[in-house]
Structures are given as structure tokens and as C-alpha cells.
Amino acid sequence: MATARTATVMGSALVVVLSAVGWGQSTNAAPSPSVPATTTATTAPTACVTRAEVEAWPLRDRASNLLMVGVSMAEAPAAVSLVVTEGLGGILIRGAPSKTSGPALRAIRDAGRHGPAFVAVDEEGGRVQHLRTAIGPLPTARSVPKTRTPAQYRAAVATHGRAMRALGFTMNLAPDVDVDPPTAGTGPVGANGIGDRSYSANPSVVADYGRAFALGMLDAGIVPVLKHFPGHGRATGDSHNIGASTPSLTSMRASDLVPFAAILTDRRVGVMTAHLYVPGLDTYPASLSTRAVTDLLRGEFGHRGLIVTDSLSMWPIRYYYRAPEAAVLALRAGNDVLLYDDRPAVPAVLDGLVVAMAKDEKLAAIAVDANLRILAAKGRTLCDQPTPTPSTIVIDTTVSTTSSTIAP
């Protein structure tokens, strides 16, 4: 039987991590004066939002504002209808928008029920960018530290971000702050699916350039979302497949978690949770794990910004869970934005969330917290900002990996 120990996770250990990455030393670029860095809404109301205001929403509104659904650019008109009829909080654009896609994207944004809908995209640079045709290319992460300082990179990303915002985008599921394994090759794709999406095998370099990217997006009025928490760089495989796991939590503290601990001190920055198993932390993947999301991200790191799941339609989740069940687990774990790529599943997901919240007052309250963070990310001011409290997590000292021989 595995033994366990209880560890206090807030305090000097985190201070050491933050000082190691040189927080505040990597860039001196000033935010763009033309675009407020703290808002993504086209017109943000001046009155602050109270918790009571969100508690008064129907349960279905509490649920629908949490959902983000991936669609192709060709499906944009249907996405507008989905945002209007179901009250979705966001849409993720797949495929390759063009220079003329702006009106369709802005229509999605402006259709939001509780403020503008998020209009998101995966725009990292290199292999993962959808806007090359529309607004031009970004270099691969791996090449950037060789050619630009963090300050130069921030400025370039801000320029790219302003072009994204002009099209209608309000969120970028980037940067990738995964740390390369020490033995990483030079090719574009690694066995873990990351490869040249990583800035470096040095966590301090990853932190510096990931932070520069995030600040550049914020300068442009775009919400950046770090990925893939708790770190995909040394995973045993691609998290699109069943059973990918990380090294032990203890090992990750000295490497993979360093960029997240540094950059997430800025509450305007979001973070994406990955379908990765962490030996000794939980039997659930990090994306569905209360220990990973609530205890580690919220408790230890004190993160007060958005937490977005990787797509809950991905094989490691949909093989084990029905779509509504995955949504409930993800919300209960502490995620705010629940990402799906299965548009027909939306009504069932909403029904499942509503039923679960009606039965569980604690889950309904968790949904209120999540919606408040979503509103803040969309430019609303919250009337009261809670202070994160220290938390403890139970760490299983037995290192094991979760794996499966089932092919996707």
C-alpha cells in the first residue's frame, strides 16, 4: 500500500522558485499606450460586478458561460447562433482564418450574453499558428532565444497581438511554456508532441520568453493562456493519447513548474490544464484533478486568473467519461473555462452541469467563482477580490505511471 505525507505547499519553496527565474528582470518594454492591457472587452461597464449578481443568474447561464467550443472558420455563422441561443462564453477558432474573416469573428465576440464572448485561437508560432495567412508568421519558440531578447520578443508579439485583436480575437491559447527535456532533439516534433514548441531546456529561459510572450499579448488586449500545466516537456507521450504521464511532482518542481510559478503571479494571465497524469499527485489527469487545479494552482501558486481545460473532447477524456460527466469533474476540480470540440454535445453538457449544480450547492458556488474570473478576464471589475489562502496537498511518495495499451 502506498504511503503518503502531507506537505505545506506555500512559503519558502515558492520564493526560491520565483527568485530562480529572475522575475521582473527579463524585459523593460512598456505596454502599448493604444490598447489597455487589462481588458479584452470592446466596451467594459464601469460598475463593478458583485458575487450576488452572478448568484442571481439562472443555473443554465452559470453553466453556459463556462463553455468554450471549438469550430472551424466555415462554421462561424453557426457559432454565432450557438452563442446567442445557448449563451456560450467563448468560441475557439480552428482552421485558418483569412484577412477577410474579421466581420464573422467580431460577430461571435459581440453575440455574448454576459459581455463579449471569448474568441480564441491557438497562435503560438512555428508549427502551431492559424493566422499565418491572415496576419503573418511567428517564429518557432525554440528559435526565439537565439535571435531576440525578451524585450524585443515582447514588442514583436504585441504587434502580432494587435493584428489579432483587429480581426476580433480576444484570447490566445499560448504561449507554450513546456520545458524541453535535457536530451531533446533538434527536430520540430518530439515523442511528447512538443518539440520546437518549447523555448528551451532551461526553465529560466522558458520563464523569461514565455513571460515576454504573455506580456506582449496583454499589451495588445489579448488574454494569454499558458500551456500545458503542469508541464508537457518530459511527458511519456502526447496527451492526445491515453496514459501520458509526467515525472514525479518533486522532480517537476525543479524544472517543469518553474515557468508557471513565475508567470502566473500576474492574474491577467490564464493557464491551460493538460490531460497528463502526475505520479504521486492524483489518480485523475491534471485537467480533472482537484489536487492539481485547486490545491497546486490556486493554493500553492496563488493563481487568481483563468484556468482553461485542454479540450475535453480529446481521446484520454472521452474514452473514460461522457461529455457531461467530464464537464462536472473539470468544474469541480477548479477549472473555469471548459473547452470542447464537439458542438452537438453542448446541450447535454449544459443539462449535466445544471443537474449537478442543482444537487450540489458547493458545485454551484464553484461555478459562481469561475464566472467571476471569466467576467474579470473580459474586462469587468470585481467588487471584491478574495485573497488566496495557503493550502496543503497530500502527496503519494510512490512513483508510478498510468499507462494504457489501448490505441486511440
Q: How far apart are CA 209 and CA 148, in angstroms?
A: 10
Phi, then psi, of 120 in degrees rounded to 5: -110, 160
Taking the C-alpha atoms of residue 216 and residue 161, their distance in angstroms, rounded to an integer, is: 7
CA separation for the pair 331, 371 (Å, rounded)? 11
Rg (CA), the chain: 20
Q: In whole angstroms, what is the distance from residue 325 CA to residue 303 CA?
A: 25
The active-site residue, picked from 219, 310, 336, 396, is 310
What are the contacts of 75-82 at 24+ separation with CB within 8 A? 75/343, 76/101, 76/104, 76/105, 76/107, 76/108, 77/104, 78/343, 79/108, 80/104, 80/107, 80/108, 80/111, 82/343, 82/346
Distance separating alpha carbons of residues 70 and 121, to the nearest angstrom:
9
Element (H, E) at 121: strand 118-121
Per DSSP, 234 falls in state T
Residue count of the chain, please give it: 408
d(CA 272, CA 230): 9
Phi and psi at residue 203, in whole multiples of 5°? -60, -30
Cell of 53: 449578481
240 is catalytic: yes
The answer to whether 61 is a known catalytic residue is no
Pairing of β 223-229 and β 270-273: parallel
Q: Which of 130, 240, 342, 369 is catalytic?
A: 240
Cα-based angle 374, 267, 341 (whole degrees, multiple of 5)? 40
Phi, psi of 7 (to 5 degrees): -120, 135
Catalytic residues: 240, 310
